[in-house]
Homo-oligomer: A and B are copies of this chain.
Amino acid sequence: MTLEITPSRLDSLFRPRSVALVGAADKSVFSQLAYRNLDDFGFADRTYLVNRRGAVTHGRSTVTSCGQIGDPVDVAFMMVPQAATLDALSDAAAAGIRNAVILSSGYGETGEDGRAAEIELVAHARSLDMLLLGPNHLGFANFTTRTPVTSIPGLPSEAGPVALLSQSGGSSSAMLDFASVAGVGLSLMVTLGNEAMITAAHVLDYVVDDPNTRAVAMFLESVREPDVFRQAARRALAAGKAVVALKAGSSALSARTAAAHTGALVGNDRVIDAVFRDLGVIRVDSIEDMLLTAGAAAYLGRLARPGVGVVSISGGACDILADRAQDFGMSLPELAPETTRALTEIMPAYGTVQNPLDVTGSAINNPSMFTGAITAMSADPSVGVVAVVNSLPWESDGRPYATQAFVDAIGDGVATARGPVVHVNQVQQPITKYTRQVMDAGRVPYVLPGLRQAVTALSNVAWWSGLTGDRAPDAVGPVVTVAAERRRGAWTEIEARALLADASIPMVPGHLATSEDDAAKLAAEFGGPVALKIVSKNILHKSDIGGVRLGVVGEQAARQAYADVAASALKVPGAIVDGVLVTPMRSGGVELLVGVVQDPQWGPMLAVAVGGIFVEVLGDSVLAPLPVSTARAAEMLRGMRASALLDGVRGGRPADVDEVASVITRIGDLAVALGGELESLEVNPLWVNGGMIEALDAVVTWSPK
C-alpha cells in the first residue's frame, strides 16, 4: 500500500470538516490553547474532545476514544504523550480518521531513541493509510475556512492571500504577530516540525493549487525533499504565485544551531542560493522581509515592468529611497518626455520633475497633486508600479486625522492609475484598527512599512516578475553515452579530451607522443611553445611529480622534456603510462574555470570562475544548478566580480561572451547527460581570447560504486 502525499489528499487535512482533539485535558496548556482557538474561530461545534478518562474538559463532555464520536472526522489533533501515540493513531484510524497532526515531542529532535520512535511512528501511520503532520510542532491554521488546528495563541482574525509555512514552531507565533502588525493577511499557516512524513515541500505543492493563496512565505532550516520542492516551486512560478523563503544556515554558526535543535542537515548555503535563484524562489534575510515581500507579491501580482515610479512629499524620503534602490537593484527609471510634461503641469515652478518625485510642500494646500502625480507616473512606459511615500497614523489623537486628505488623494490615484500602486509608509509602523479605518476611508488597500523594507519587497517582486523560464529545465543538448564499465575512477586527460570533443566542446589540439621523436615532431608541427604532460590513469597529481613541462620551445627541448616527463612516472611505482600529451601553449586572453560537481541534495551544480590568481585570491565564482541555458551562462559570466576581464583589459580582445556561454552550456549539458555517476567534470582552464575558445585541460572523475 502506497501513501501518496498529493495536493488532493492534503485537502482533507488542511480543510477538515471536523476535528478530534485527542488527549484533550484541562491541565494541558496546549490543549487549552488549541480548544480556545477552535472556539474563537467558531469551530467548536465541529470539534470533538477525546479524553482518556472521559472527564468533562474545557467545559464540554468528552469521549474516551475516537470510535465513540460517531460522526465522520477528518483530522485527529494529537496531544497525547509520545508513548501513547501509536495506540492513539490506531484508534483514530479505526474511526476512519485519515489525518493526524502530532503535537507531541520526543522524536527525532531528541537523539537516537527518538529517531527510532519517529521511524516507527511513520511506519505505523503508513500501515494505517494515515497522513502525519509533525511531530514536534504546533499544528496549522486555515484562516480561509477558519479552522485552527494549532496551540499557537493570538491568531489573526482575518484571512488574506499569503500562505505561511514554518519549520520553526517557536518562531511561528512571532511571525503571526508580525503579519498582524504589518497587515499581511494569511490564507494558511502550517508549522512543519520534524517533517516525519509531510514536508514543507509537500505543503508548498498543496498551496500552489489553493485558490485562496496568491503567495507563499516559508521559513526553512533545511529542505528535506529537494525533488518535491523543486517541482512545487516550478509549479508555483508557472502559476504566478511568488515563493519567498527565509532559509537559515547561511552562517556556519547557524548551521550548528539548526543542527542542534532539529537534527536537520543544513545544506551548503551557496548551493541553496543558486538553486533558489534557478527556481525563482525569492530569498530574504528576515521574518519581516519574508512576510512583506510575500504580501507585496500577493497584492501586486506580476509586474509588467520592473521600473518603480516614486511619489513622495518628503525630499529626504526620496533620497533614502534612491540610495536603497541602488543597494538592492531596484529600478527607478528616468521618466519619459510625456510623463515629464504631465508632471510639469502639476508641479510648482521650484519643484524638480524626476523619479523619485518630491511633490513639495505645495501638496499641503493641494493634496490632489498626489492623485495627478500617481496617474502620470503610472502611465509612464517604464513604470511597472507606483510607490507613494506617505505616513499613516497608528493611534488616534482624538481629533479627526490631520492629513486624511493625503490618504484620500492617494486612494484616488490608486483608483485611476493605469497600473498597480502601493502606499509606502516612511517608517515602520503597525497597521492598527485605526490605521485600517484611515486607509479604508481613503480607499488605500495596501501599505508597505518603512523605506528600506519597501525597497526590498519591491525589488524582490520586480525580480520575480521578470523571470521568463528561458529554457525548459529538462532540455539537454548532446547525448553522450559512456559504457557502464568505463564509469569509474579518474580518467586520463586523453580520455577526458575525447569525451569533451564528442560533446562539441572545442579542445586545444593535442597528440599523444610515445617517443622523443614523436615529441620533437609534434613540437615542430605546433610551431610555438608547447606543453608536455604525462598520461597515466594512475597519476592524479602530475605536476607534483614533475610530470608536466610548460613553455617548451624547439625540437631539442621537446626531446629533453619528453625524457624528463616520462621519467617522472617512475616515482609512481606500477603506474601504467599511455604516453606524453603534447599541446601548443596559449597566451593572452582570459582563463576560466568551468566545473561541475554533484551536490548530494540538489544534483549537478555548475561553477564558473575566472581562473588563475583571481579565483585563488578572491574566490570569485558563480554557481548554478544544471542544466543552464546560454542566456543563464552569459549571466553567470557577467555575475563574476572580475567580469570586466572579459571585456578585454590592457589591449586584450573582448571575449565573445555568447560563444563562451554556449560552450559552458555544452559542458553543463554533457555533465547532465553523463548522469549521477559522474563525480566531477572540470575544464580548467577554458581559454578565451576574443572569439578563440579552447579547453586547455580537462578532468573527469566518477563516483565510487
Listed in ascending order, the chain A residues whose CB lies under 8 Å from chain B are 29, 105, 109-111, 153-154, 166-168, 170-171, 173-175, 177-178, 181-182, 219, 221, 246, 248-254, 256-258, 260-262, 285-288, 313-320, 322-327, 332, 350, 352, 354, 356, 358, 360-361, 364, 391, 393-394, 397, 402, 425-430, 450-452, 613, 616-618, 641-642, 644-645, 649-650
Contact = CB atoms under 8 A, between A and B. Distances in A.
B170 A248 contact: no
B316 A219 contact: yes
B426 A171 contact: yes
A358 B287 contact: no
A322 B354 contact: no
Nearest to A111: B350
Given A177-B429, A248-B323, A617-B645, 7 more contacts: A110-B350, A257-B352, A287-B427, A287-B450, A288-B452, A613-B645, A641-B641
Contact of A427 (B177, B221, B314): B177
A393 B176 CA distance: 12
A287 B428 CA distance: 9
A286 B455 CA distance: 11
A361 B649 CA distance: 59
Among A110, A287, A323, A325, chain B packs the most CB atoms within 10 A around the CB of A323
Contacts of A644: 616-618
A193 B430 CA distance: 29
Contacts of A319: 168, 221, 248-249, 254, 257-258
B430 A251 contact: no
Contacts of A618: 618, 641-642, 644
Given A248-B323, A318-B261, A354 B153 contact: no
A260 B397 contact: no
A25 to B, nearest CB: 15
B426 A174 contact: yes
Contact of A286 (B154, B262, B358, B450): B450
A125 B110 CA distance: 75
B109 A257 contact: no
A178 B261 contact: no
Nearest to A181: B429
Given A221-B316, A249-B319, A315-B170, A358 B452 contact: no
Contact of A315 (B29, B261, B617): B261
Contacts of A642: 617-618
A29 B316 contact: no
Contacts of A427: 174-175, 177-178, 181, 287-288
B181 A254 contact: no
Contacts of A171: 314, 316-317, 320, 426
Contact of A332 (B168, B253, B287, B350): B253
Nearest to A170: B314
B397 A257 contact: no
Given A260-B315, A332-B253, A394-B181, A248 B617 contact: no
A425 B178 CA distance: 11
Contacts of A105: 361
B315 A258 contact: yes
Contact of A613 (B182, B322, B650): B650
B286 A391 contact: no
A215 B703 CA distance: 60
B177 A358 contact: no
Contacts of A332: 253
Contacts of A256: 322, 354
A168 B219 contact: no
Among A167, A319, A324, A393, chain B packs the most CB atoms within 10 A around the CB of A319
B250 A323 contact: yes
23 contacts: A153-B402, A154-B393, A170-B315, A170-B358, A171-B316, A171-B320, A174-B425, A174-B426, A181-B430, A221-B316, A246-B320, A248-B323, A250-B323, A250-B327, A251-B325, A251-B327, A257-B318, A257-B356, A260-B315, A261-B358, A262-B315, A286-B452, A287-B451
A250 B327 CA distance: 9
6 smallest A-B Cβ distances: which pairs? A168-B316, A170-B314, A248-B319, A261-B315, A171-B316, A251-B326
A177 B426 CA distance: 10
A285 B322 CA distance: 11
Given A313-B170, A350-B109, A641-B618, A320 B287 contact: yes
A616 B394 contact: no
Given A167-B316, A287-B320, A649 B394 contact: no
B178 A428 contact: yes
Contacts of A174: 314, 317, 391, 425-427
Contacts of A322: 248, 251, 253-254, 256-257
Given A181-B394, A358-B257, A649 B320 contact: no
Contacts of A649: 613, 616-617
Contacts of A356: 253, 257
A401 to B, nearest CB: 10
Contacts of A181: 394, 427-430
Contacts of A317: 168, 170-171, 174
B261 A177 contact: no
Nearest to A175: B427
A48 to B, nearest CB: 25
Among A170, A325, A327, A361, chain B packs the most CB atoms within 10 A around the CB of A170
